[in-house]
Structures are given as C-alpha cells and as structure tokens.
Amino acid sequence: MKLNSIVLGLPMVVSAATLNTKQNVRVGAPTEKLVATMRPEAKRAYFTFGPYELKGNPTAGKASGGHGHSGSSGGGMGGMGGMGGMGGEGDTQSFSLKTTGEKLCAPCSVLSGQIKFAYANGTLTSTERGIYVHHVLTNVLANGRQRSGFVSGLMGLMANGFVGAGDDNGNTPFIYAPRDRSLESGFHVNAADTLGANIVLVNYRPEPQTVYLNYDLEYMPSIWGRDVKSSLLSAAFGAMKTSRDGPVNTTSSPITFSEDGSMILAKGHLHDGGSAMYMSLSRSKDTTPYYTCVSRATYGGKIGGTDQETISDMTDCNKAPVEIKKGDNMVMTAEYDLKAHPLRGITGGGEGGTMGMFRVIFAPAPQPAKELKGEE
Ligand SMILES: *[C@@H]1O[C@H](CO)[C@@H](O)[C@H](O)[C@H]1NC(C)=O
Ligand SMILES: *[C@@H]1O[C@H](CO)[C@@H](O)[C@H](O)[C@H]1NC(C)=O
C-alpha cells in the first residue's frame, strides 16, 4: 500500500515541477502533447479515470495461438452491441465507470475522441506490454435520456455510443465532425449527462498491472452544430461465419434508415481472424448501390508473450460525409479469413469469438426552424 502510493505520487511531483498545464499533471495521463487538428478554434485534452488494477495472469504466455476447435466458438453477442452487458472471453477482466459530463469537457461538442490506456507514469500501455484492450464501450445519456436510433429494428434502438475502443480500433480517433469541415456537428456533452463505460481488458503478464483510462478529446467548448448519434450495427445476431480454408462472408439483411441526415463516419469492428467490413447503401426503391465502401483490418502488434499478430486498426470507411435519405437501405458484410489470421488465442486455452460490426456516426438533418420559440 505504502509503496503503491509512493509510486503513484512520484509522476505527479515530477510533472508539476516541469509542466504547468493541468492536463499533464494528472497521474495516469499520457505525457504526449496534444494538438487540435479538426478545427483551429477547438481545444484538446485528456480526461483520465482509474486506476484499474488488473490481476496477474498465471497462464500468461500460454495463449493457444488460434489452433484447436471450431471457428465460431465464443463471442456471439454481436447483435447486442452498444447495449451494454457485452461479455468478455475467458481471460478478460471487466471494470465499469459511471460519471457525469462534468468530468468531461461539458458543456462541449466533441469533434473527435480516442481511448488511450496509460500507466501511472503516463507511458501508454500496449499489447507488447501485455495489456490487450478487448473493448471499452461508452454510452453518454443526455440528462439520462437515450438518443433515439437512426435505423429501424432492434439494432437501431439506441444511439448513445461515445468514444470507445475495440481490440481493433484503438489507434485512430472516432470523429463526430467531418474532417473536411463541410458541416458543423459534434457529440454534445452537458454537465448533467451520465457517462457509463464497460471496460474489458486482458493482462497477458503474470504480474498485476495498474492502468488508467484516458479519453483524448478534441472539442468545441460550447454546444455547437448538430448533435450526432452513434450506433454499433452488426452484420448478424450471433457469430460470423468462418473457415480455416480462406475468406468467407456474413451478409446482413437490409437495414433501413429512419431519418434524413449525413453519415459522418463508418468504421468496421472485427475480432482477430477478420479481414474487412463492407458497406453498401441504396435508395429505398433501388437495389443498385449509390455508395459502397470497405473498412479493412490492419494487423500489427503482437500479443505479449505470444507470436500472434492482432488487429491494430481498421481503416475508416468513408472520407467525407455521405448524405442519407429516410428509407435508404444499408447492407453490410463481414469477411473473416482464418487461413490468413487465426482467432485470438485465449490465455490458458481456447479462442476468441467473432464480431462483424460498423460503428456509424450520424448527424441528423437540421430541423426546419420553428416559428415559435419556447415550445417544449
Ligand atoms: C512506466 O511504467 C511502466 C509500468 O510500470 C513501466 O513498464 C515503464 O517502464 C515506465 N516508464 C518510464 C518511462 O518510467
Ligand atoms: C465478400 O464481399 C465483398 C463485398 O461484396 C467482396 O468484395 C468479397 O470478395 C467477398 N468475399 C468473399 C470471400 O466472398
């Protein structure tokens, strides 16, 4: 206990002596300097939560490396994404965070955000250091109120997803405003908003590790532009199709948009073994797509103590906002290729499950100006 507080206290003293900006003195906040890139008038800072203490993993270094039984084991909760309660796999450790917008940038409009885990001294965690981010799902409810979805059906019920992370997409930010600045939008955060996060991590090291969760947010310091909605939409309920012989696809039924607006970002979410998420959009009465795109998995870092490559990022699907009309249909396809990339080996044996999703960030079309002010 005593040793712990000395270790935790030290970086604060060092930082306070050498740096004078508030964001850099916090224990567990990365030391990397932040620069706003979305808009010149925007601000950018880390919002740090924790510590989260991970138990040591006695079976560390004994991940099964993806050989073994049938490909569609585990996981299988794809359709319920974003609704909380997404389980981990055998070796995961879960934490939850409940706070309010006041602890973020409120009142503000978040233009982009990214999850970064760091140790008390500000060094970022990595898979090489044995910290595997299975996922962080964050929901922000406006004054406790749900943001209604923008697509029909069960998957589209809610659209409260705030900056999160999957094992596959921690390396680039989620954006809530187009980089080309062609329209003004952001994720609105007010002081009374409730933020809930489900944090699921794996420690691939035998010794315990303590980490801090950071939201690296770029934001306008006011309520500004259109308030975006953000949903995780899955290609199927349950596991994706897989084969050890090569690529196979799982394709969704059409998902219908329930309002006009602009798709700001579509970014795939896959687990290890996945190669790409494809999307096609068509107008209601037309089956010929007016828009297609692909979000590809990039494999990078090795998981600590194993030789297994894991997904380090997914490319963004769209480069500019796509104008959507109510009634448009989206079809998505998840492609897994276990010949090219095995499923994640779980420490102690077994394999990770599959998911095939798109995180879609949607800016509803501006409502026609009301004649009368003050109606509720
Ligand atoms: C910061 O802490 C981590 C975890 O304890 C350690 O591995 C790393 O070497 C430290 N970095 C520095 C620069 O002291
Ligand atoms: C999966 O679907 C995509 C998009 O339609 C296509 O480009 C790809 O070739 C398909 N892969 C397989 C294995 O059928």
Which pair of tokens denotes residue 349? 């044996």
Q: Please give the number of the atom of ligand 1 that sits closest to the Cα of 121.
A: 1
The ligand minimizing its distance to the Cα of 130 is 1
In 3D, which of 23, 29, 27, 22 has the Cα closest to residue 6? 27
Contact 317, 309 (CB under 8 A): no
How many angstroms separate the alpha carbon of residue 121 from the centre of ligand 1?
6
CA distance 251 to 266: 16
pLDDT at 127: 86
How many angstroms separate the alpha carbon of residue 119 from the centre of ligand 1?
7
In the chain, how many domains are there? 1
Q: Is 123 in the pocket of ligand 1 (CB under 6 A)?
A: yes
Look at residue 296 and tell me if it is in a domain.
Answer: yes
Could you tell which of 241, 243, 275, 278 is best to mutate to test the pocket of ligand 2, judged by most ligand atoms within 8 Å of the CB?
A: 278
pLDDT at 258: 94
* pLDDT over threshold 50, residue 234: yes
How many angstroms separate the alpha carbon of residue 123 from the centre of ligand 1?
6
Q: Write out the E strands in the chain.
A: 43-54, 93-100, 108-118, 131-141, 161-166, 174-175, 185-189, 194-203, 209-220, 226-227, 229-234, 247-251, 255-256, 261-270, 274-282, 291-302, 309-314, 322-324, 329-337, 356-364
Higher pLDDT, 368 or 198: 198
In sequence order, what are the residues at sequence separation of 6 or more whose Cβ sits closer than 8 angstroms to the Cβ of residue 304?
A: 60, 61, 127, 128, 129, 130, 131, 132, 204, 205
DSSP three-state, residue 290: coil
Q: Is 119 in the pocket of ligand 1 (CB under 6 A)?
A: yes
How many angstroms separate the alpha carbon of residue 301 from the centre of ligand 1?
19
- Residue numbers of the domain that contains 259: 19-364
- pTM of the shown model: 0.81
The pLDDT tens digits for 37-69 are 999 999 999 999 999 999 998 876 554 443 322
How many angstroms separate the alpha carbon of residue 122 from the centre of ligand 1?
8
pLDDT at 251: 97
How many angstroms separate the alpha carbon of residue 356 from the centre of ligand 2?
14
Q: Is 224 in the pocket of ligand 2 (CB under 6 A)?
A: no
How many angstroms separate the alpha carbon of residue 311 from the centre of ligand 2?
19
* pLDDT over threshold 90, residue 157: no
Q: Please give the number of the atom of ligand 2 that sits closest to the Cα of 247.
A: 13
Look at residue 371 and tell me if it is in a domain.
Answer: no
How many angstroms separate the alpha carbon of residue 199 from the centre of ligand 1?
22
Could you tell which of 333, 336, 339 is best to mutate to test the pocket of ligand 2, judged by most ligand atoms within 8 Å of the CB?
A: 333
* pLDDT over threshold 90, residue 285: no
Look at residue 227 and tell me if it is in a domain.
Answer: yes
Q: Please give the number of the atom of ligand 2 that sits closest to the Cα of 294.
A: 4
Q: Is 37 in the pocket of ligand 1 (CB under 6 A)?
A: no
Look at residue 229 and tell me if it is in a domain.
Answer: yes
Cα 191 versus chain centre, distance: 22
For range 319-347, the mean pLDDT? 92
pLDDT at 71: 28
In terms of Cβ atoms closer than 10 Å to its own Cβ (0-12, 13-18, 19+), residue 374 is exposed
Contact 64, 345 (CB under 8 A): yes
In 3D, which of 97, 70, 205, 86 has the Cα closest to residue 134? 86
Look at residue 372 and tell me if it is in a domain.
Answer: no
Nearest-5° Cα angle at 135, 28 to 332: 140
Higher pLDDT, 169 or 223: 223
Q: Is 278 in the pocket of ligand 2 (CB under 6 A)?
A: yes
- Determine which residue's CA is closest to atom 4 belonging to ligand 2: 278
Look at residue 256 and tell me if it is in a domain.
Answer: yes
The ligand minimizing its distance to the Cα of 235 is 2
The ligand minimizing its distance to the Cα of 242 is 2
Which pair of tokens denotes residue 129? 């250091």
Q: Please give the number of the atom of ligand 2 that sits closest to the Cα of 333.
A: 2
Look at residue 370 and tell me if it is in a domain.
Answer: no
Q: Is 31 in the pocket of ligand 1 (CB under 6 A)?
A: no
Higher pLDDT, 22 or 91: 91
The ligand minimizing its distance to the Cα of 294 is 2
Task: With cut-offs at 50, 70 and 90, classify the pLDDT of residue 255.
Answer: very high
For range 20-41, the mean pLDDT? 80
The ligand minimizing its distance to the Cα of 121 is 1
How many angstroms separate the alpha carbon of residue 92 from the centre of ligand 1?
23
